[in-house]
């Protein structure tokens, strides 16, 4: 982990940050409902509520099987962070 780029948070800090993000998005929706419309607001609120049980992106590794095994005897990998269960996921689906 590159300390100058990433910061490791405790679970409590991460949960507080997720709650803060959800609060900010809800305020934004209230302020701009006249622009986004009630259906979009309802869609985002529904998905944020559903995702609040597991509000974080899911991190996993994919093997680059097309590259073959490297000189070190290992398959090269690619890190992936999916946001399908995250708080802001619904914003990306519009």
pLDDT average, residue stretch 20-45: 96
pTM of structure: 0.73
Return the pLDDT at 48: 92
- Asked whether residue 19 carries a pLDDT value surpassing 80, the answer given is yes
Residue-wise over 33-69: b if at least 16 C-beta within 10 A, else e? eeeeeeebbebbeebbeebeeebbeeeeeeeeeeeee
Look at residue 52 and tell me whether its pLDDT is greater than 60.
yes
**Model confidence at 94, in pLDDT bands (50, 70, 90)?**
confident
């Amino acid at each position: 982990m590159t300390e100058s780029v990433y910061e490791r948070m405790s679970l409590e800090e991460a949960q507080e940050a997720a709650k803060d993000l959800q609060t900010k998005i809800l305020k934004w929706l209230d302020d701009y409902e006249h622009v986004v419309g009630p259906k979009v607001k309802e869609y985002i609120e529904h998905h944020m509520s559903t995702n609040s049980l597991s509000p974080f992106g899911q991190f996993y590794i994919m093997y680059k099987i097309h590259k073959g095994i490297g000189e070190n005897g290992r398959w090269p990998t690619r890190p992936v962070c999916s946001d399908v269960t995250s708080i802001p996921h619904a914003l990306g689906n519009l």
